[in-house]
Structure 1
Amino acid sequence: MTLKRIAELSGVSPATVSNILNNKGKFSQATRDRVYEVVARESYEINGLARDLRRKSTGIIALCLESLKGPFFSELIEGVQEGVRSANYNFIVASSYGGVDSSAYKMLNEQRVDGAIIFAPSMPDDMLLTLAKKIPLIVLDRQISHDNINTILLNNATGINQIINYCIEHNFTKIGYISGIGFHYDNKQRLQSFKDALNHHGLSLATEYMFEGDFTIQAGREVAEKLYQSNNFPEVMVCANDEMAIGLIASLQDVGVNIPEHMSVVGFDNLTIGTLLKPRLATVSHCKFDLGVLAVTNLLDTLAGNHPDNVVVETEFVYRESLK
């Protein structure tokens, strides 16, 4: 019997169940009675280790990020904030920059938080495995195995495949790609999915339309300059994230290149800012806010002594006017 199942049978959230079982928060007697009735009926026993953890609880969850700027992370942070809001927890955002000297590593290593959500690809696996011996981790940026680590990852292939399928259906064969930071898990997954999708449709990789970026708007601007100078454009440029796509579009428009008449552009992440462009940015959608909420839910479940399953979040292509 898991925390989630008790919550479902009680008609409350997992966070509420966790707080009631650990005698935290203010809830009506009727709610408490309902939860304890389910616990008694299902013969649920609170894990002893979980009780020990709660007695030593700091009441704080850490969100460890590689960068503290950019619209992607702001939506994720809002989701984490919503997740902890009703759970009688606080959360703190920490940067992983600096490795073992970073604020994130020091905070987790010294167990100043009850658990952590990790979106910091530059933190090496061995560092996370060491930290997982001390506190539970929810990891959003790689595949990694440990009893005290739960992963939530994107199915990058679905969205990329849908983009390429659209291109084929509309007779586009000159398709370029701007990748992000090479070692990032999501970047590698998106690039490989792009190559596999082209191969599936019998298209060869056009190396003259392949570029390396770093997920920033500036990277998109730099690719735009190269395309403009060469005067050799693909029919469609797929970007590994929206920020690079935004930089690409803005710079090409500055020099009179019309989007999508001259070249179509597709991003990835479905950032709100993409809907404000003219033309609006076609992209691949996954909800960063919901990702944050889910990460908190699974972390609280782990702190309660349960073992939530690893999760794969689906992605979906969103057509907008930057694509013919």
Structure 2
Amino acid sequence: MICTNKSCEKFMNPSLTCGAIMLDMKCKNSTLIQKANEGYPIVALDRIMDMPNIKSVVVNNYAPMTELVQGLVDKGYRRFGYIAGIDTLDNQERYQALKDVLQRNGITFSRENYFLGDYHEKSGYQSARLMLLSDNIPEVLVCANDNMAIGAMKALRQEGLKIPDDIAVTGFDGTEMSELMGLTTVDIPDYERGYLAAQFLLQNIAGSCSFDTFKIAAKVHWRKTTR
């Protein structure tokens, strides 16, 4: 069983399934702990939990975001904006990497250029519209995922701004749309992630899974939305 933004508690039922691959940001840790204590095997794709029956296959967000932001600094960008997703492990690691790189390079990040989105395209559009009300817009807008980056690009272009001449934009995830739009992004190998999750769930069900957390590597793709 794969649970994605549905009622995970409803579907993680031992009478219906032997285990679950879980990607549901709305599912509470307490629910997973309860199921794990009942002996129900789970592979989580969106969090790390120290529980015998919960294994995790998550993205190593910090390393590629570090590479991306350092690359932007090396290209000469100094004023950064950030559109965050909701408070998940992914967003926490991506934002922390941004802050750490800027601090190491002596660059101040202004909190007025931090915008809270929800990973959907509309929130990226709305965040960019708010950003444009400022007298000092960023040189580069780093977005926590591709959907919000695409929404932001639509808002910027509506105001006549040229990307990347007036402002650069980056995403994260490596969606098909990001490739079509020439978006600089971090590519997550979703097929491999899903394959590993399925393999580890089967091992977890059989009681032969020897690891707790597996981190998937991701790769930066430089495209035409940055200099």
Q: Please classify the TM superposition score into its range, dividing by the shorter chain length.
A: over 0.9
Q: Give structure 2 stretches of 5+ with no counterpart.
A: none
Partner residue of 1:44? none
Q: 1:173 aligns with which of 67, 78, 84?
A: 78
Instruction: Report percent identity of matched pairs.
Output: 31
1:157 equivalent to 2:62? Answer yes
8 Å CA contact retained: 1:298, 1:308: no
Q: 1:307 aligns with which of 204, 209, 219?
A: 209
Partner residue of 1:321? 224
CA deviation string 1:93-144 (max 9, x = no partner): xx13xxxxxxx31231353101100111221111101112232100111110
Q: 1:136 aligns with which of 21, 37, 41?
A: 41
Give the Cα separation in 2 of the matches to 1:289 and 1:250.
Answer: 29
231 and 257 in structure 1: CA distance in 2 versus 1, 3 angstrom threshold: farther
What are the equivalent positions in structure 2 for 1:226-237 lying under 5 Å apart? 226-237=130-141
Higher helix share: 1
Partner residue of 2:145? 241
SS at match of 2:3: strand
State how many pairs are aligned.
225
CA deviation string 1:176-230 (max 9, x = no partner): 1111112x11111111121111112121112232111111111111122123333
8 Å CA contact retained: 2:145, 2:173: yes
1:295 equivalent to 2:197? Answer yes
SS at match of 1:199: helix
What are the equivalent positions in structure 2 for 1:89-168 lying under 5 Å apart? 95-96=6-7, 104-132=8-36, 133-168=38-73
What TM-score, normalized to structure 1? 0.67
Mark the structure with the bigger radius of gyration.
1
Deviation of 1:166 after TM superposition, in Å, equals 0.8
Q: Which amino acid aligns with 2:4?
A: L
Give the Cα separation in 2 of the matches to 1:210 and 1:283.
Answer: 19
CA deviation string 1:52-97 (max 9, x = no partner): xxxxxxxxxx11112xxxxxxxxxxxxxxxxxxxxxxxxxxxx13x
Give the Cα separation in 2 of the matches to 1:229 and 1:202.
Answer: 26
8 Å CA contact retained: 2:79, 2:109: no
Q: Which amino acid aligns with 2:205?
A: L
SS at match of 1:229: coil
Partner residue of 1:195? 99
1:207 equivalent to 2:146? Answer no
Give the Cα separation in 2 of the matches to 1:293 and 1:146.
Answer: 22
Q: 2:124 aligns with which of 200, 207, 220?
A: 220
SS at match of 2:119: coil
SS at match of 1:311: strand
SS at match of 1:220: helix
8 Å CA contact retained: 1:162, 1:316: no
Deviation of 1:231 after TM superposition, in Å, equals 4.9
8 Å CA contact retained: 2:3, 2:11: no
SS at match of 2:83: strand
Give the Cα separation in 2 of the matches to 1:296 and 1:308.
Answer: 15
Give the Cα separation in 2 of the matches to 1:316 and 1:241.
Answer: 14
Deviation of 1:268 after TM superposition, in Å, equals 0.4
8 Å CA contact retained: 2:14, 2:40: no
- Structure 1 runs, 4 residues or longer, greater than 6 Å off: none
